[in-house]
Amino acid sequence: MSGAPRIATAGTRQLDAKIPSGPMPEKWDRYRFGAKLVNPANRRKFTVIIVGTGLAGGAAAATLGEAGYNILSFCIQDSPRRAHSIAAQGGINAAKNYRNDGDSITRLFYDTVKGGDYRAREANVHRLAEVSVRIIDQCVAQGVPFAREYGGLLDNRSFGGAQVSRTFYARGQTGQQLLLGAYQAMMRQVGTGTVKLFPRYEMLDLVVADGRARGIIARNLISGTVERFEADAVLLATGGYGNAYFLSTNAVNSNATAIWRAYKRGALFANPCFTQIHPTCIPVSGDHQSKLTLMSESLRNDGRVWVPKRAGDKRPPAQIPEDERDYFLERRYPAFGNLVPRDVASRASKAVCDEGRGAGETGLSVYLDFADSIGRLGEHVIRERYGNLFQMYEKITDENPYKAPMRIYPAMHYTMGGLWVDYNLMSTIPGLFVLGEANFSDHGANRLGASALMQGLADGYFVAPSTLPNYLASTPLSKVSTDHDAFREAEHTVQAKLDRLVAVKGRKTPREIHRTLGRLLWDKVGMGRTDAGLKEALGEIPGLREEFWANVSVPSAGAEMSQVLEYAGRVADYLELGELIALDALERRESCGGHFREEYQTPDNEALRDDEHFAHAAAWEYAGEGRLPIRNAEALTFEYVKPSQRSYK
Ligand SMILES: Cc1cc2nc3c(=O)[nH]c(=O)nc-3n(C[C@H](O)[C@H](O)[C@H](O)COP(=O)(O)OP(=O)(O)OC[C@H]3O[C@@H](n4cnc5c(N)ncnc54)[C@H](O)[C@@H]3O)c2cc1C
């Protein structure tokens, strides 16, 4: 890392990822054999808080509850079933090789490390690929209705960054079906008494007592009361922070508060600038929108992406003859064609729009055209594969995608960054585990499609249920009650922040300020980032934050149900996190995956990594209010997948 000029203080923390020894394919087995166990009769003596009931948290609660631990499960929604995971559309990867097209655990491992532009930890990724095959068995046993072929075998399709078909799916509703599987398994444990649900609760702080995570402070969102909960360990499975950008494909309730407040209690935050912009979303249509809608990547199996060859060509698509169309992904990347990874496809779409060749009124969209597939396969096949997505598109745009090509444009979608975790999924706070999208672990600088569901379920069904007992069995945990000073202090901090929000009594809604922040992040910390733009963002965010605390309007008494108060707290956190995203992006003077610094590109405009200085995860440490955070680094070594210039040509 020497040679890279710094603006943030370089930390000296030794980040031990605790990667087991031995050859890569044996590490996970070796780990599990060496891990300490908790006797079945002793498990009920341990209380574990799990915040989040999406695929990661729901799967963990079901599995740990089944094992006999005493689980307290929290979520914001009125039902665990309404976690954001329910929105996932296209599918889940697994190295089953049902298609016999050359897939294997090694190939999934390789594709994922390469897809992440060599910024993920090899050992975690290999484990993910190994566990992937068991996830499908688990879900089938639960009755998840994956699509099947005529002969009855599970069907597969392809997602970006892979030349095999390894994606299992349930039409365009895979997340919903998987979540129902996890939910019913969790509800069975609610029935047996091992899992206790706390819906409509928002975790607002982590309690660290005697150096360990021992509980949370959560607000009852119905009554407004702030409550204390103690445990022997805390698992955060609270999802990603894409909503910092205001417009994103995430559910409106997705937020960063739990991980951000854990960061302020000492958990390091890794690679916050690794954010994913998804190439195929319904374009922004005006200022009235509060969210964007994804059109699943699976559509690129059968849809062809194109724009007119001539800049400024505003003819309707049907009037543009074949030889005047530019199928730019197929042209630039003949080997992967329309199924290049998301970062590559998003940048390519932006580039043709920047050249003035974008479609639609605004020129900020490209066509996703199914005419060829409909001609070849028949409309009924396309309807069977993507019916609900086509319907959703038509409802939102009032255009029939069976008759005219869809118009799509990149949008904020997923966050690869998150709380730093070691191989155990434990953060830098002992006893605090982080699962699913909330951690940074497996996707490096770019996540391949259909790999988030795989990771969330791997973490929840298989990884945490092996690593958490190791922690509980090997750690002497003193008795801590909610009277402990740490609980009192954390509750006081939470209450003071809520009171402060209510007391401002300003004139701007949290939404207005959030929208301004989102625009700033999208423009300056979005698809293309520059030194000057990032410095501008860093110059503007503190002023916006000041404006928020001087002029936000929260019409609430605090101790009552108030969605504006909930939202204002989350925006306050985005205003701090947004700054860290920009700082991380400024400090990472290279391009990799979704982090594209315009100064660092290859002659044909692809991301240009700097492995000499940046082959590491940047893990940011909170240094106190008003002080620059400290940038620590976990060096990444690649023994099995040697870094090279990513090519999908
Ligand atoms: C539209 C869309 C489609 C997608 N399609 C796919 C796909 O086809 N394949 C794929 O692999 N990935 C897909 N993804 C990504 C994937 O859906 C997510 O990464 C994944 O579902 C995240 O799961 P999770 O369990 O980590 O978190 P989430 O599902 O986001 O769950 C978070 C949970 O935490 C709770 N929570 C959050 N904060 C708090 C708090 N402070 N207090 C209490 N509770 C809290 C929430 O209530 C919720 O229960 C898609 C994403 C989007 C946006």
32-80 tens-digit pLDDT: 999 999 999 999 999 999 999 999 999 999 999 999 999 999 999 999 9
Residue 496, CA distances (Å) to 203, 267, 442, 489 in order = 15, 22, 36, 10
Residue ID of nearest Cα to ligand 1 atom 2: 88
How many angstroms does the Cα of residue 438 sit away from the middle of ligand 1?
9
Ligand 1 site, residue 451, Cβ cutoff 6 A: yes
Atom 10, ligand 1: residue with shortest CA distance: 450
CA 309 to ligand 1 centroid distance, Å: 38
- State if residue 59 touches ligand 1 by the CB under 6 angstroms criterion: no
pLDDT bin (cut points 50, 70, 90) of residue 605 is confident
Instruction: Evaluate whether 198 touches 73 at the Cβ level (below 8 Å).
Output: yes
**Does residue 216 have its Cβ closer than 6 Å to ligand 1?**
no
Strand order across the 226-230 sheet? 201-209, 212-220, 226-230
What is the pTM (predicted TM-score) of this model?
0.96
Question: Which atom of ligand 1 approaches the CA of 298 most closely?
Answer: 8
Alpha-carbon distances of 378 from 103, 136, 281, 375, 402, rounded to whole Å: 29, 30, 24, 6, 10
Q: 525-537 pLDDT, tens per residue?
A: 999 999 999 999 9
How many whole angstroms from 78 Cα to the centroid of ligand 1? 16
Q: Whose CA is nearest to atom 8 of ligand 1?
A: 90
401 pLDDT band (50/70/90 cuts)? Answer: very high
Closest ligand 1 atom to 53 CA: 49
> Span 231-243, mean pLDDT?
98
The Å distance, Cα 240 to ligand 1 centre, comes to 7
- pLDDT of residue 4 exceeding 50: no
Question: Quick one: tokens of 528?
Answer: 């293309």
> Could you read off the pLDDT of 456-484 as tens digits, one per residue?
999 999 999 999 999 999 999 999 999 99
CA of 509 to the centre of ligand 1 (A): 26
pLDDT tier at 552, thresholds 50, 70, 90: very high
Ligand 1 centroid to residue 317 C-alpha, Å: 35
439 CB within 6 A, ligand 1: no
pLDDT confidence of residue 338: 95
Token pair of 548 as six digits: 């928020």
Q: Mean pLDDT of all residues in the chain?
A: 95
Testing ligand 1's pocket by substitution, the residue of 144, 453, 498, 571 carrying the most ligand atoms inside 8 A of its CB is 453
Binning pLDDT at 50, 70 and 90, where does residue 9 land?
confident
Residue 647 has pLDDT above 90, yes or no: no
Which atom in ligand 1 lies closest to the alpha carbon of residue 450? 11
Tell me if 175 CB under 6 Å of ligand 1.
Answer: yes
Residue type present at position 386? Y
- For residue 629, the 8-state DSSP code is P
**How much distance in Å is there from the Cα of 649 to the middle of ligand 1?**
32
Q: What pLDDT does 2 receive?
A: 39
* Res 8: pLDDT: 79
Q: Find out whether the beta carbon of 87 lies less than 6 Å from any atom of ligand 1.
A: yes
Element (H, E) at 71: strand 70-74
Q: Is 342 a catalytic residue?
A: yes
DSSP bridge pairs for 351: none
Is the minimum distance from the CB of 392 to ligand 1 under 6 angstroms? no
pLDDT-derived band at 7 (thresholds 50, 70, 90) equals: low
Does the beta carbon of 132 lie inside 6 Å of ligand 1?
no
Catalytic residue among 81, 342, 385, 609: 342
SS3 593: coil
**Taking a C-beta distance cutoff of 8 angstroms, is the pair 595, 346 a contact?**
no
